[in-house]
Structure 1
Amino acid sequence: MVEQSNRKGILLMVAVTFIFAMQDGISRHLAETYNVYMALMVRFWFFAGFVLLIAARSPGGIKRATRSGLPWVQLIRSIVLITEVIVMVQAFVYLGLVHSHAVFACYPLLVAALSGPVLGEKVGWRRVVAIAVGFIGVLIILQPGFGVFSPYALIPLAAALLFALYSLMTRYVGRVDPASVSFFYTGVVGAVVVTAVGIWHWENMILSDWGWMGILCFTAATGHFLLIKAYEVAEASAIQPFAYLQLVFASALGVLVFHEALEMNVVIGAAVVVSAGLFTLWRARVAAN
């Protein structure tokens, strides 16, 4: 029995968000220099190897990890995730880390909005209002109808929708399959799908960028391992709000390293989106008690 500690879980989640933000910065650098499919292919090769290692050392081994009660849903869910990753990395290239994460922060609101029609969950009027307020925040960031609006701003919004669908399907399969099975499908199917595309876009990387690729692969495995540990030692409702720190870390990286601008509309809109998201998470926790 693993000792439960929300404090430890929160610290782990903070570490996870920092690691994932650094990953996003490295992904942006590599995707600006090399083909995005190739860069993600190498990353998922390493991730799949990590998943296979974890599965082999678990009770029942790899055979147990492949045994799903909903294999087709697991397959579609994994394809949705790799598609989301590709779309989000493209957003980093075209829009930058600050704007991309500011818009992507709306994904918990999309999860809440779609949980009713997809999972049959009850969505009360308070959460409906929070969702509406959150999307007002997205509009503040995007500024539709103004000269500064770019169609590229819709890319992270598409990524948020895909990640929301992935999250909902993860909940759905979680009713039947253990987390180890979902984790296995995520890594292995993702690697197979992106390899089918990325292998045709192979480019030679310079030695220093292979170093960045190695760091990216290592941090991907480390981040996912710490995330698993965080949910193992703490309540999901206690640590989930801290996932928004990835927006803070990624924005700081974008400003300090990539010299991105931090416009006031993005700051205000992101604050509205995060506030609405935190309220939605709080209402979900209240409803569960």
Structure 2
Amino acid sequence: MVEQNTARGIGLMIATTFIFAMQDGISRHLAETYNVYMALMVRFWFFALFVSVVAARAPGGIRRATRSALPWVQVIRSAVLIVEVIVMVQGFVYLGLVESHAVFACYPLLVAALSGPVLGEKVGWRRIVAIGIGFVGVLIILQPGFGVFSPYALIPLVSALLFALYSLLTRYVGRVDPASVSFFYTGVVGAVIVTLAGIWHWMPMSAPDWGWMAVLCVSASLGHFLLIKAYEIAEASAIQPFAYLQLVFASGLGIVVFDETLKPNVALGAAVVVGAGVFTLWRTRRAARA
């Protein structure tokens, strides 16, 4: 059983959200120029190579990395992730980083809400209220009937649901499998699945974009490893509030690099969501002390 450390889990989650936000910006650039399946295929090829090298150098080698107590859950979890990434990158193309992440921000709420019935983690009524308030913040961002709330908004919404499922499954397998096993399955299974689609969409890539692709590959590998480690050492409901920071990081990148606009309702809604998340964390830590 892995020793639980909530403070370290929070630090890992913050680092993960920053890395994910930066790689989302690179993914948007590449997806606007090249086929999304091809770009993700190259990314997961590197990811699979990286996890294989890490597994080979670890005690027990590749055989230990494939030895999961829940192998089919690992495969399903990895498949859910690659589908989520494909869906979300499409959202970047149609909506941009700011609006896509404004909708995607509901995924931590979904994880926190479902961590009780799915994982058996205790979620008190105060945290349930905070989660509800967070959803109000998402509605403020969406402005039902206006702006971002369009058929395209369903793209990051579906992505949020898929990533919430991936997060819960990661936490679930983390109870019996070490992070190294989950890391290996994520890279190898993801590479196999995306190759089945991406190999038919190969396009030549410019030298500068190969450089961006290299940065994307490295950041993706690091980000997923940190995420897996975070769920391994801390309860999902405790660290999920800090996942909201990805909205802040990605929005800043969208405004500075891609000349997107931060609308007042997005800023207000994000403040409500982050406030709800901070309160959820505070209640979690207080309950733990009690």
TM-score (norm 1): 0.88
3-state SS of paired residue (1:262): coil
Quote how far apart the aligned CAs of 1:225 are: 5.2
Residue identity in the other structure for 2:181: V
Q: Deviations over 1:78-137 (max 9, x none)?
A: 111111111111111111111122222222210122123322333321122112111111
Map of 2:150 onto structure 1? 150
Within-5 A mapping of 1:144-183: 144-146=144-146, 149-183=149-183
CA distance in 1, matches of 2:262, 2:15: 24
Does the Cα contact within 8 Å between 1:119 and 1:168 map onto a contact in 2?
yes
Q: Is the 8 A contact 2:101 2:156 kept in 1?
A: yes
Between the two proteins, the alignment pairs up a number of residues equal to 285
Specify whether residues 270 and 147 from structure 1 end up closer, same or farther in structure 2 by C-alpha distance, changes over 3 A only.
Answer: closer
Deviation at 1:240, TM superposition (A): 5.9
Query: CA separation in 2, counterparts of 1:105 and 1:188?
Result: 28
Asked if the contact 1:106–1:274 (Cα under 8 Å) also holds between the matched residues in 2, the reply is no
Asked if structure 2 preserves the Cα contact closer than 8 Å seen for 1:105 and 1:274, the reply is: no
- C-alpha displacement of 1:7: 8.1
2: distance between equivalents of 1:204 and 1:265? 40
Structure 2 counterpart of 1:53:
53
Post-superposition offset of 1:288: 3.8
Percent of pairs with identical residues: 79
Distance 1:73 1:227 in 2: 17
1:218 to 1:107, Cα distance in 2 relative to 1, 3 A:
same
8 Å Cα contact 1:13/1:239 also seen in 2 = yes
Q: CA deviation at 1:205?
A: 1.3
Check 1:284–1:114 CA distance in 2 against 1; reply closer, same or farther (3 A cut). same
Q: For the structure 1 residues 230 and 72, does the alpha-carbon distance in structure 2 shift closer, same or farther, using more than 3 Å as the test?
A: closer
AA paired with 1:246? Q
Could you tell me whether the CA contact under 8 Å between 2:171 and 2:231 is conserved in 1?
Answer: no
* Distance in 1 of aligned mates of 2:266 and 2:117: 30
Q: Aligned pair 1:219/2:198, yes or no? A: no
Cα distance per residue 1:191-230 (max 9 Å; x no partner) = 1111111111111112221121112112223444566777
Change in Cα spacing, 1:15 to 1:205, as seen in structure 2 (3 Å) is same
Work out the CA distance in 2 between the residues paired with 1:226 and 1:73. Answer: 20
Deviation at 1:42, TM superposition (A): 0.4
Q: Which moved more, 1:150-159 or 1:80-89?
A: 150-159
Q: Over the residues paired in the alignment, what is the CA RMSD in angstroms?
A: 2.8
The one-letter code of the counterpart of 2:136 is I
TM-score between both structures, scaled by the size of structure 2: 0.88
Instruction: Find the counterpart in structure 2 of residue 136 from structure 1.
Output: 136
Q: How does 1:1-289 map to 2 (within 5 A)?
A: 10=11, 14-146=14-146, 149-224=149-224, 241-289=241-289
CA distance in 2, matches of 1:95, 1:168: 27
Aligned residue identity for 1:61? G
